[in-house]
Amino acid sequence: MSPSRRNTPFAIALALAVAGVSFASAVAAAPDAASLVDQARANIRLNPEASQRYAESALDALKARPDPDLEVAARLVLCDYQGERSPQAAQSEIDAAWALMPKVKRTGLRAGIMLCEGQLLELANKTHEALARFDEAARFAEGAHDSEMLADSLYQRGYMRALLGQYAEGLIDERRALSLYEKLSLTSRARTALNGIAILYNRMGDYAQAKHYYMQSLKGHIAEGARREQAVTLHNLGRAHENLGEWHEAKQAFEESLAINHELGYSRGEAYALRGLASVCNATGDATCATAYLARAEAAAKGAPDARLHAQILLQRGISYRLQKRYPESIAALQEAATTFASADSLAELRDTYRALSATYAEFNDWRAAYERQVEFKNTSDTLLLRQLDQRFATLKVEFDTAAKDKENTLLLREKAVTERALEQERTVGRLQAAVIALATVLTLILATLVVRHRRASQRMEALANTDELTGLPNRRDILGRLSEWLGTPQGPSCATLIADLDHFKPINDKFGHLVGDDILREVAKALTEIVREPACVGRIGGEEFLVMLPDTGLEEAAQMAERLRERVLAIDTSRWFTDRGISASFGVTASAAGDTVSSMLRRADEALYDAKARGRNCVATRGG
């Protein structure tokens, strides 16, 4: 587990949650305990050691005047503290909290215990089990109608999804958590959710955007005086600089993080910062400097139950050994790191480890092993790249306003840039493979493999370029291309075109948010495709507009089809989003005539659509050729 998710531990959230429900009654019964729990949750962001002392003092005070809600809050603060130091001690706090739950008034605290259990699973490198536990906490909090606990659970689940490469789902979780925190006026935790969003962008490979969010979050932490959060965010900022190859800036961020962690006595945070400084040294070829930092990192991480931290230190240790030409030791360290990263499904770190192993074997003149590690690097890199591309396209509509049609060009340019970066990365890997192949004397076989890989990648890029990332339908470029091809057929049969536009869609986006708007667009697309069958096709041409192409169809038959589609859209169940309105669409219909072009057909269909809107919407209008 990286310290990136530790900006606001869930124990703070739980203590704050209890403050809103049980503190009022508890102050009369046990004012000392209430005050101590309040101090514990306040200091966990400033001084973890003081937080522990306050929580333990609260438990002592509660022996005389018990309050189950306050005791659960205190024990979960201690669980958060012990989780990074002693899993056994943290588990004891979890067991004690579960034993208290039958007496607790606020059932949503059960989700907090699940979050603590998920944290221990994550520290043990059981990432999939941790995600399952965080998901269970989110579902329970939502069922209990506990907005605060739901936000905390979404934040934790979003971080874990980012770690496992589920970037689109993770971004939705983090943005939803951010929205809930803002509604609850929990500014500090809203800033933490912003950090979670930055982590997602960093893992998606959008390091510049991640850096922007980290800087924004860091300013808030400094203004608030939250020293621990400053240290964590500085480390994350250093990682973004590291990914961008900005070594001077990375060193500065890691050094500042190290100084604050040392001041707070947070040894695990020191270990992460020292690992970062060792990475900078390795990148600049200074193995002596890296070795010194790694020795300090290993000492700081000693006893910390964080498998991925130890693996990250081993990765840098293996690189420094290679720089010192201590090849057997480098191979041993890197293989151990690869085992940990593979078990955690951490593809980015596994990719980096295979690349380092390939370089070590090559310098060691073990060309066969170098080639084998290079193939593993290539396969892992391809998997990660395709996952990043798939997830990045899936998150575009989280970032952009679906109602703004003029942003379509921006999306297309972004797709093109992503594709170009992907192809350039493929070419770079190809060149490196070619060198290994030449040394391994299997040039012909590997070149054939590369051809197949490039062909598949090109086919996938072409499919992505012609697909609307939100609905999965053909996009504007694809559907209009099909229409142009049909109209260009010599003496071809007639063709009808329908344009459907959702009625009053902007107010839905404005009132309920773009995530609901995106759900509605996907549901409408599903409804249209249930009726439209080949050779007819339906595509999304922008915003809330869809185009249906009906080959070999006259105007009257097309109008009948439009009426069926209108009724199907009107029948969509909207109860999952709202109850005060339905969904309807207006349709403009036209049929081709001799000499028609795409532009002339679209113009007539648009004119018919305007007629339908003028008639009061939710109807079908036609224009002949």
User: What is the spatial distance between Cα 163 and Cα 348, in angstroms, rounded to a whole number?
Assistant: 10
3-state helix, strand, coil in the chain (%, to 5): 75, 5, 20
Q: Which residues contact 24 (CB under 8 A, 6 or more apart)?
A: none
Count of residues in the chain? 625
Name the residue among 312, 382, 333, 332 with its Cα closest to residue 125: 312
User: What is the spatial distance between Cα 466 and Cα 477, in angstroms, rounded to a whole number?
Assistant: 7
Cα–Cα distance list, 600 to 308, 334, 561, 574 (Å): 60, 63, 21, 36
Cα–Cα distance list, 411 to 414, 415, 468, 539, 543 (Å): 5, 6, 10, 17, 12
Q: Which entry of 544, 556, 567, 607 is annotated as an active-site residue?
A: 544
Q: Which class for 20: exposed (0-12), middle (13-18), buried (19 or more C-beta within 10 A)?
A: exposed
What is the token pair recorded at 346?
Answer: 């951490």
Cα–Cα distance list, 460 to 413, 419, 451, 464, 469 (Å): 17, 10, 14, 6, 13
Please list the residues that pair with 474 across neighbouring strands. Answer: 467
What letters, b where the CB count within 10 A reaches 16 and e where it falls short, cover 481-514?
ebbeebbeeeeeebbbbbbbbbbebeebbeeeeb
Name the residue among 9, 70, 92 with its Cα closest to residue 43: 9
Name the residue among 548, 532, 537 with its Cα closest to residue 602: 548
User: What is the spatial distance between Cα 201 and Cα 195, in angstroms, rounded to a whole number?
Assistant: 10
Which phi and psi (to 5°) does residue 58 adopt? -60, -40
* Angle CA 580–581–583, to nearest 5: 160
Residue entry with tokens 């059981």: 126
State the pairing for strand pair 537-542/585-591: unpaired
What is the token pair recorded at 288?
Answer: 């002596």
544 catalytic? Reply is yes
Is the distance from CB of 108 to CB of 17 less than 8 angstroms?
yes
Is the distance from CB of 544 to CB of 552 less than 8 angstroms?
no
Cα–Cα distance list, 321 to 287, 310, 324, 352 (Å): 8, 16, 5, 15
What is the token pair recorded at 262?
Answer: 């040392």
Is the distance from CB of 319 to CB of 325 less than 8 angstroms?
no
Please list the residues that pair with 586 across neighbouring strands. Answer: 501
Catalytic center residues: 544
